[in-house]
Structure 1
Amino acid sequence: MLTARYLLRALRFCSSAPCPRHKPSAKLSVRDALRAQNPSGERVKVQGWIRSIRSQKEVLFLHVNDGSSLESLQVVAESSFDSRELAFGSSVEVQGQLIKSPSKRQNVELKAEKIEVIGNCDAKAFPIKYKERHPLEYMRQYPHLRCRTNVLSSILRVRSEATAAIHSFFKDSGFVHIHTPIITSNDCEGAGELFQVEPSSKIKLPEENFFNVPAFLTVSGQLHLEVMSGAFTQVFTFGPTFRAENSQTRRHLAEFYMVEAEISFVKSLQDLMQVMEELFKATTVTVLSNCPEDVELCHKFIAPGQKIRTYAKKQLFNWGIDLQTEHEKYLLKHCGNIPVFIINYPLALKPFYMRDNEDGPQHTVAAVDLLVPGVGELFGGSLREERYHVLEQRLARLGLKEAYQWYLDLRQFGSVPHGGFGMGFERYLQCILGVENIKDVIPFPRFTHSCLL
């Protein structure tokens, strides 16, 4: 049997290092090429897609982009290059010298020695047109092509950066990342908006279940995080969740991503609110620092076009009735259009797991929502009911005691005061980028009557 040491040694001696005089061009991303401080004619290779092409008498100008940067790399070639196959949208590989650009529009440019067309593009049939700014509504018709536009590529770069920032925040704060299941037998929210999971095979007998119990796509990883909070003091998950809502609003999807956290030994909503605020601030600071051009593009071409909705009629807030979108907007406006925490909701409106405040006639639970301008509810959280007898009585009243006996067990074996929250990731992106419709901040939106690709 080969040992790991032997394999490493074999790999080291079998490497085929090129002759220094025939050293191949270094492959660079467009982003790295643009960041070159003192380009001195180093031979490089860049791969990407043509974003613009301009032919002059003696010079051919191309702008090539590979998705790593909002800005494209200018390629300068002699007019002797065959430009018949060079079209907007075509994929190319360019080799040449990276030099300082004489133009003030860019710091560097690539002086082409070889241009190879990897994939042709029929520019006339291509739904994305050169120098046209396509509305986001138009591009939703082409989920397989819309990532090639500047706005969508910027949004997706921000999405990637925000994902990394969220993981970094939790890691730096001492949280353990938990992979909660996609398929589950519980309905955490209790709203019944579930997608049931069944095998597609028709040999299954109708009275049987693959898992012996009905199974669904998860609506939240919270209950599984509560299990883990009995062994780890701080846990989080970040993954897809599903709601079978018959909704066509600009804030709802059937499949979306949730950031959820659970913290043990928490005794007040203020402690949860502090973590929510820190998560929001830390993630946003990282995005603004690492993607300034992408954020600026979204604010420049998306946010100004948002419709401002006003509500002239008097807003009525009746105790015991849940907040609607109009109420959320009224509260935000009343508070100066800044993020607002709403706490202590009526018990009757909330799921069984929220801690009873035992505050007399109002009878509230220790719940909190964070409302933000342009979106409404961004975070939702609560302290959990850790008292065995209180939780047992509530589950019995709701007829859920048998189904959630395992949940009661958590309160019987070393329970502690704990709480947690969830943040809708797409709503967060809507908030910081000013994107009106949630369908435009996710690569492949899933909603009622639409499951393209």
Structure 2
Amino acid sequence: MLKLKELPILTRTLRCISQLSPKNPIESKDNQPKSPENAPEYSRIKTAPTTKPGDSFGIQGWILNIRRMKTNLFLDVNDGSTAEKFQIVVPKNDQTKALSPGCSVSISGVIQTAPNGHNELHANEVTLLGNSSLQEGFPFVPKQQHPPEYVREYLHFRSRVDYIASQLRVRHRAAKAIHDFMDEQGLIQIHTPILTTNDCEGAGETFVVKPDNEKLLKDMSRDGVPFDESYFDQKVFLSVSGQLHLEAATYGLGGTYTFSPAFRAENCKSPLHLAEFYMVEAELAFTYTMNDLTSFIETMVKSVSQEVMNKSSEDVHHCQKKAAADVDLSWLDKNWITLTYEDAFTILSDNKSRFKTDLKTNEGFSKEQELFLVDHLKSPLFVIDWPADQKPFYMRQSKTDASKVHALDLLMPSVGELCGGSLRENNYDVLKNKIPPGLQWYLDLRKYGGIPTGGFGLGFERFLQLITGVKNIRDVIPYPRYPHSCKM
């Protein structure tokens, strides 16, 4: 560890930053790097504003920028805990000139007040961690802005890019807020399976799963079972939705939810679509009306959004600034509108000359049309009571019009459809006439102690786009997967 008063040669340590907690180094174990003797306690940079001049303070992070003055170096350091950089003052000398942008460092010293009134750290000990500088070939040059398309080519380094780091912190905060909300509402989290035998949506957008081992399949093969299905004895897919499994759990637990990845095999390069994404899905027991469902969804989206803004506004605003997005969250304080499909279709039909996309009676609305409805009504809106032929088999048939089902789409500014859901068909006789093959167990739920339920699925990445203004969904997920791209 470098004593700046004595200025010996800088010592490189092999200690891994990830093995250090915010407050204390993890105790050394056999075959692990040892912590330096008398190592100071380290804090996260986000706590620096709470310190007072004269307080001892230690941080560990990465040098983003260096300003070399006559007698001192001014380092901008970040440790991933905040979008803000923290200024470190280090005496200038022959040894400290080895510091450069990209270095990972461990620094301790005393808090002082900078001329701008912010806290800064006057260092008295510095340790270089790992290499002393960025090596040739590193894709992100300090102080240079890189377009999102370029950044996506280096997923293993993306967390070092400021707006991606902010996105990941917002993502963490939103996920926690969702779990907290569901817990407060009494819903039980269910880990629904990734491997499944059903295509919940029935759209054929599934990925088939089988072992990539011909010998294993040959060893497990059986008469009457197709060779590719030898492992499970039937065709298995990556899940497109955990809904059907949630329904089964709800019939014994009451309300349930899952927060899981979902997979869709679509040849779509839209900035709103991914091949792998996360969905928040909930199933509410004893749900009788669409109002029960829409009220729950509206309360959830508002509550989670407000929690994110309360706890992570700095990162949200940083994302909005980088995206050059003017995000209007005034809907947090409004009552949302509910509109029938027929009424929504009439509005669109009256304005169809404005659209580049055709308005079709046998398909849902395009994103352009969805955003028009939101803008036209100046509010998020639930479109309910859809034609049965546009929706999956499990949605509850209207008692007054058999051609309609009690389904909903939630349309929001900038992203269009955020959430889809429905009341579930709980009439055994109605369901048995339209259920797909292989789902007898789903029909049995209605046969033995059936109850009225309703549920929904919310695209988590679209929610993040909604509040941060990021235009491309590939930039709100750590490792995006989409057609022609599955890196790492």
Fold match, TM over 0.5?
A: yes
Alignment correspondent of 1:393: 433
Kindly provide the amino acid, as one letter, of the partner of residue 292 in structure 2. D
Kindly provide the amino acid, as one letter, of the partner of residue 156 in structure 2. H
Kindly provide the amino acid, as one letter, of the partner of residue 357 in structure 1. S
Kindly provide the amino acid, as one letter, of the partner of residue 222 in structure 1. Q
Kindly provide the amino acid, as one letter, of the partner of residue 274 in structure 2. L
Alignment correspondent of 1:277: 298
Kindly provide the amino acid, as one letter, of the partner of residue 47 in structure 1. Q
1:374-389, aligned counterparts within 5 Å? 374-389=414-429
Q: Identity, % of aligned pairs? A: 42
Alignment correspondent of 2:141: 129
Taking the aligned partners of 1:207 and 1:416, their CA distance within structure 2 comes to 38
1:312 CA drift (Å): 8.5
1:29 CA drift (Å): 1.2
Kept in 2: contact 1:93–1:118 (CA 8 A) = no
Residues 1:31 and 2:46 are matched in the alignment: yes
Kept in 1: contact 2:89–2:120 (CA 8 A) = no
Alignment correspondent of 1:114: 126
Match of 2:73 among 60, 65, 70: 60
Residues 1:322 and 2:322 are matched in the alignment: no
Q: Deviations for 1:183-211, whole angstroms, at most 9, x for unmatched residues?
A: 00010000010011101111113254211
Q: The residue matched to 1:119 in structure 2 has which SS?
A: coil
Taking the aligned partners of 1:81 and 1:239, their CA distance within structure 2 comes to 53
Q: Deviations for 1:355-376, whole angstroms, at most 9, x for unmatched residues?
A: 0003337x11000110111111
Alignment correspondent of 1:352: 393
TM-score by length of 1: 0.88
Residues 1:429 and 2:464 are matched in the alignment: yes
Mean CA deviation greater in 138-147 or 247-256: 138-147
Kindly provide the amino acid, as one letter, of the partner of residue 87 in structure 1. S
Specify whether residues 153 and 53 from structure 1 end up closer, same or farther in structure 2 by C-alpha distance, changes over 3 A only. Answer: same
1:320 CA drift (Å): 3.6
Match of 2:412 among 354, 357, 372: 372
Kindly provide the amino acid, as one letter, of the partner of residue 66 in structure 1. D
Q: The residue matched to 2:353 in structure 1 has which SS?
A: coil
1:337-348, aligned counterparts within 5 Å? 338-348=379-389
Taking the aligned partners of 1:145 and 1:160, their CA distance within structure 2 comes to 18
1:105 CA drift (Å): 5.4
1:147 CA drift (Å): 1.6
Alignment correspondent of 2:257: 236
Structure 2 gap ranges (5+): 1-26, 29-36, 219-226, 328-350
Q: The residue matched to 2:414 in structure 1 has which SS?
A: coil
Alignment correspondent of 1:407: 442
Kept in 1: contact 2:109–2:121 (CA 8 A) = no
Q: The residue matched to 2:397 in structure 1 has which SS?
A: coil
Taking the aligned partners of 1:48 and 1:160, their CA distance within structure 2 comes to 20
1:113 CA drift (Å): 2.4
Residues 1:90 and 2:103 are matched in the alignment: yes
1:264-303, aligned counterparts within 5 Å? 264-303=285-324
Taking the aligned partners of 1:405 and 1:312, their CA distance within structure 2 comes to 43
1:103 CA drift (Å): 2.0
What count of residue pairs does the alignment treat as equivalent? 420
Q: The residue matched to 1:345 in structure 2 has which SS?
A: strand
Mean CA deviation greater in 198-207 or 386-395: 198-207
Alignment correspondent of 1:40: 54
Alignment correspondent of 1:446: 481
Kindly provide the amino acid, as one letter, of the partner of residue 235 in structure 1. T
Taking the aligned partners of 1:36 and 1:137, their CA distance within structure 2 comes to 37
Taking the aligned partners of 1:373 and 1:292, their CA distance within structure 2 comes to 19
Residues 1:71 and 2:84 are matched in the alignment: yes
